[in-house]
Amino acid sequence: MATGFLSSNNSLHTKRALLIGNNEYKKNSPLRYCTNDAKDLAIKLHYIDFEITIGTNLTYEQMNTMIETFIDKINQGNLVLFFFAGYGCQSSHLNFLIPIDDDEINTNINLEYRAINAQATLEKIMSRRPSASIFLLDCCRNSFVCESSNSNGLSAMQAVAGSFISFACDANKVALDESRNGRNGLFTYHLLQHIDQPYSTIDDIMYDVCDGVTRETNDDQCPFRVSSLRRKVYLNEQFTAGQSLVFNDININTKWKQHGITIVGGNGEGNQLNQLSRPEGIYVDDDHQTIYIADCYNHRIVEWKYGAKNGQVVAGGNEKGDRSDQLNWPTDVIVDKKNDSLIICDCENRRVVRWFRQNGKHGETIISDIDCWGLTMDKNGDLYVSDCEKNEVRRWKQEEREGTIVAGGNGQGNNLNQLHWPTYIFVDEDY
């Protein structure tokens, strides 16, 4: 599977990222978090204007083709980021990234033809003369694909001039596979906390990542990094790159206060009622002076009254799962005032759920088998849902089973009749 975002049309300053996450291995034990790692990192990088190519659960042929196609698109002066999460192994001091069809690898010789040579990939990227290349590998797991399995982790790599390399743990060591959020690998979890820091160099970001990993593991794991960068490299040079909202009832001369105030959360990441963990979509209900938050990593929807110090769980909150009283990575929520209910994008369960506000202990699925991310409702009560895998937005009238495509639906791309991983949507009142 491959998807992506497009953001910049200026080839000189374009930031490009290739992200691959493999879980479903045939020979090695299946992994749990690598596809999440790639998807979550894609979202973070998209918000800071990276052009994204992403692949999950790829065979050797798919990995090789995706990498070669990505490299061909690199122009001189681009900033490039490469990320792989899955199994990796070393042989003769070379590192190899393992595809999901690892049952084709039985000897070290097979690695050269059925796995991706990490050093060769970095050198190919650098041959395109990018301004810098960031090479991140979260694959320091024991791999049992050939006789190289007696060598733990990855071998130290040599940074090509203008590149930065980091592993999940030190060379020749094995990384822990789970973080405290139960969704990401340990290294990627801490990477996600810092990767979009404004005006921070990649060195500063990785210092913070290393600090977080070593603290969580009581110094048992320390990410490997080596740099031959010739200048300071910033991944996010703007606080709000490319993100602006326009509302019809706000005067164009309106000036915003320079310092906002925290109204929800702000007490660190966690699952207490005064905390959030990776909040995604929000909905403001002015009628009830209430904000609803899709508290993504806590798998719940939280209601927060204006001025309150704590929120209240109004949907989910019973661990992640697919039961009617559970959610799994909710990304958006709105209020259907006519039916006095919440409508929720239950992303990882691939469903849209209605949850009644009065004594709602369980949700009911109203749309299933959809890679939903964002939703909204028009004044007629029609529901609009973005499907980030099908690259389309559909309008659903009540009792409608299929919905009608109103945007995209012509494959992934940057033509005016196409979309590329649509997320949040807004319907103008005059629509």
Q: How far is CA 375 from the centre of its chain?
A: 18
- 12 lies in some domain: yes
The answer to whether 178 and 200 have CB atoms below 8 angstroms apart is no
- 407 lies in some domain: no
- 388 lies in some domain: no
Half-sphere exposure at residue 88, Cβ-oriented, CA atoms within 13 angstroms: 34
Q: Mind spelling out the 3-state secondary structure of 276-322?
A: ECCEEEEEEEHHHCEEEEEEHHHCEEEEEECCCCCCEEEEECCCECC
The rounded distance, in Å, linking the Cα atoms of 299 and 319 is: 7
- 363 lies in some domain: no
* 97 CB-near residues (< 8 Å, 6+ apart): 20, 63, 84, 86, 88, 115, 116, 118, 121, 137, 139
The rounded distance, in Å, linking the Cα atoms of 221 and 224 is: 9
Query: Which residues sit opposite 367 in a β-bridge?
Result: 352
The rounded distance, in Å, linking the Cα atoms of 363 and 401 is: 18
Report pLDDT for 8: 42
The rounded distance, in Å, linking the Cα atoms of 264 and 267 is: 9
Helices and strands (DSSP H and E) totals, the chain: 6, 22
Report pLDDT for 3: 47
The domain in which residue 222 lies consists of: 2-227
**Phi/psi at 211 (5° precision):** -60, -45
| 341-346/383-387 β-pairing | unpaired
DSSP per-residue letters across 197-262: -TT-BHHHHHHHHHHHHHHHTTTS----EEE--SS--BS--STTTT-----TTS-TT----SS---
The answer to whether 33 and 268 have CB atoms below 8 angstroms apart is no
Question: What CATH number is given to the structural domain containing 115?
Answer: 3.40.50.1460
- 333 lies in some domain: no
Distances in Å between the Cα of 95 and the Cα atoms of 71, 87, 91, 105, 333 are 19, 11, 7, 14, 43
Q: Is the dihedral of CA 411, 405, 373, 46 positive or negative?
A: positive
Angle at 203 between CA 201 and CA 204, to 5 degrees: 65
pTM (2 d.p.): 0.60
Report pLDDT for 255: 74
The answer to whether 170 and 224 have CB atoms below 8 angstroms apart is yes
Alpha helices in 107-183 (DSSP H): 108-114, 118-127
For 142, the token pair is 């024991």
Please count the structural domains in the chain.
Answer: 1
- 177 lies in some domain: yes
- 143 lies in some domain: yes
Half-sphere exposure at residue 59, Cβ-oriented, CA atoms within 13 angstroms: 5
Question: H/E element holding 43?
Answer: helix 34-47
3-state secondary structure of 70: helix
- 151 lies in some domain: yes
The answer to whether 94 and 171 have CB atoms below 8 angstroms apart is no
pLDDT in tens, the chain (431 residues): 544 444 444 444 689 999 999 999 998 889 999 999 999 999 999 989 999 999 999 999 999 999 999 999 999 999 999 999 999 888 888 899 999 998 888 877 888 889 999 999 999 999 999 999 999 999 877 666 555 444 576 878 888 899 999 988 765 566 666 667 788 998 999 999 999 988 889 999 999 999 988 888 887 787 888 999 988 999 997 643 333 333 445 666 667 777 788 889 989 989 999 999 999 999 998 777 899 999 999 999 999 988 788 999 999 999 999 999 999 999 999 999 888 899 999 999 999 999 998 877 899 999 999 999 999 998 888 999 999 889 999 999 877 888 999 999 999 888 999 998 899 999 986 65
Q: Is the dihedral of CA 319, 321, 324, 327 positive or negative?
A: positive
The rounded distance, in Å, linking the Cα atoms of 87 and 98 is: 5
